[in-house]
Amino acid sequence: MDRRFHANDIDAGELEMIRVIGPVARSTLLEARRSRILWLVAAMALASLGLAGFLGQVAIIESTEVQVAVVAAVLRGCAVFLTAAFVAIAMVREFNDKVFELMLAGPWPRGVYLLGKFVGFSTTALVLAVLLSLPLAALVPAARLWPWTLSLACELVIVAAMSLFCVITFTHVVAALATVLGFYLLGRSIAAIQVMAAAAEASTRWTDRAADWLVAAVAVLLPRFDLMTRADWLLGAFPGPAALASVLGQTAVYTLLLVAAAQFDLHRQNF
Amino acid sequence: MRERPIGQLPRSVVVLFVLALALQIGVGLARPQPQARAEDLPAPPSAAGLRLAALGEPAALAKVLMLYLQAFDYRAGTRVPYRDLDYDRLIGWLERILELDPPGQYPLMQASRLYAEVPDPAKTRQMLDFVYREYLKDPNRRWPWLAHATVLAKHQLKDLELALKYAQALQDHTTTPDAPLWARQMVPFILEDMNELEAAKVLIGGLIASGQVKDERDLRLLQRRLEGIEERLRAEAGAK
């Protein structure tokens, strides 16, 4: 790391600390590039184009709509999994190689290192969102594609932040990955769960009331992934400025919460 | 790994976390609650599509779909439930769910006990007809719902012809000993209500004579019913 951050220079000020974020983020991006994730993305893009070709052959009507909806859903799932897996595995590797402890021993607050990693992971997520949207460019006009890509990028930033928080908390790949994927699935389905819970609200049993409250509380604490990156946006139902603003706002608020939670947990841990 | 007490954390870290949490809670509370409005019920997907989506667990998907479906247009205590639902679509969904999980009783229970009991005779008929069609595919498992449909046809719709059709189907197709006698032998009582007294008398008399009725109380009840019919017949004959 940059020798300007020797212990003797601790009073170099916050500006110097902020400059740590850049190299940490760059090293994260470098790791993403060297981990052959781009080859995987290229393979996924090719596979999705093959899937689109297959669907185009078997669909009798609305073949383009079928292709777009299915390929978009598959790409979205792949992007989420890749992002979560990359963050979890990269961080666990840093734990195992003691790079993490080395970084914490540096003359900067823990939060600076965390922010550096977050910037690196979220930039990787943005690149993944753009690259994994490219196969859809062959099927839908750019005017429909960009809101979907923007929303996918937002979704992946939240997933990256959640993965970072989980891996700092659990320090194991399986636990972190399982939690992130569970969180994502819950975020996708919480609206449906709320609807189902509302249908039983006439019950007066305390267990039912407690379950309703629990569902409501979980819903408040989760982002609504079901309102983001919708395949029907690609089929002509343009989301509109309000929906896009809501996606951006939700991403900002939830990412702030996750980074704050990760920082809180990182400060609590003794190494 | 030991953890530091919260009191030892930098105050800015704690404050940032609390503020971010409060902000998310505010956003979450400000969001409108998702609702399954009647007009939001989409057309059911194809059976093949649902099987693909079930990922080898059709019964589990059927249960979840049923829970999801029942939430549409239902708001307890606020207004008449299910009034605005598109019953063609609803029946399509129920059919698909039954295809996914044929032994499942939930769709027909919902159909006969909830969706058929709306204050709209046309919708009630539509739902009863669905229950009847599905009953014929598996009579020994689905008889309770057609029995309830028979009662609804008789008392809610006041359509004795329809009730007789369902009762006749129950009598002809239900062979399981699990079905109680009253469910399989509703025909004479409906005939009695239709003033077909001779036919009702013959059927009830035949039932008593057949020895199928073992319970003493049931026998006494049938006997009293037969005597009542005979009395009505005598009164009618006297009037002529």
Interface of A with B in 205-244 (CB under 8 A): 219-222, 224
> Do A68 and A137 touch, CB atoms closer than 8 A?
no
Question: Which positions in chain B touch A224 (Cβ < 8 Å)?
Answer: 31
pLDDT at position B97, please?
94
Domain ranges of chain A: 3-268
Per-domain residue ranges of chain B: 44-174
What type of residue sits at position B158? K
Decide if pLDDT at A7 tops 70.
Answer: no
Mean pLDDT for the stretch of residues A66-86: 92
As a whole number of angstroms, the distance between CA A133 and CA A153 comes to 10
Write the single-letter amino acid at A225: F
| 8 A C-beta contact, residue B171 and residue B198 | no
pLDDT above 50 for A2: no
The pLDDT of B40-55, averaged and rounded, is 83
Chain A interface includes B60 (CB < 8 A): no
Q: In this prediction, what percent of chain A has a pLDDT beyond 90? A: 51
Residue A13 has a pLDDT of 57
Does the pLDDT value for residue A203 go beyond 80?
Answer: no
**pLDDT mean over A258-270:** 90
Round the average pLDDT of chain A to a whole number and report it: 87
Is the predicted pLDDT of residue A96 greater than 70, yes or no?
yes
Q: pLDDT tens, B70-115?
A: 877 665 444 456 777 889 999 999 999 999 999 999 999 999 988 9
The predicted model scores a pTM of: 0.74
C-alpha distance from residue A17 to each of A24, A108, A161, A176 (Å): 11, 6, 21, 28
The whole-number pLDDT of residue A5 equals: 47
pLDDT of residue A77: 94
pLDDT higher than 90, residue B119? no
Across the range A175-200, mean pLDDT stands at: 88
Using CA coordinates, name the residue in chain A closest to B78. Answer: A202
Interface test with A, best of B41, B46, B67, B80 (most A CBs within 10 A): B67
Q: For residue B68, give how far its alpha carbon lies from the nearest alpha carbon of chain A (Å).
A: 6
Q: To probe the interface with A, which of B2, B4, B13, B65 has the most A CB atoms within 10 Å?
A: B13
Q: Which of B1, B16, B70 to substitute to test the interface with A, most A CBs within 10 Å? A: B16
Q: What is the pLDDT of residue A210?
A: 83
* B4-28 average pLDDT score: 90
Non-local CB neighbours of A79 within 8 Å, separated by 6+ positions: A128, A129, A132, A152, A155, A156
pLDDT tens for residues B124-170?
999 999 999 999 999 999 999 999 999 999 999 999 999 999 999 99
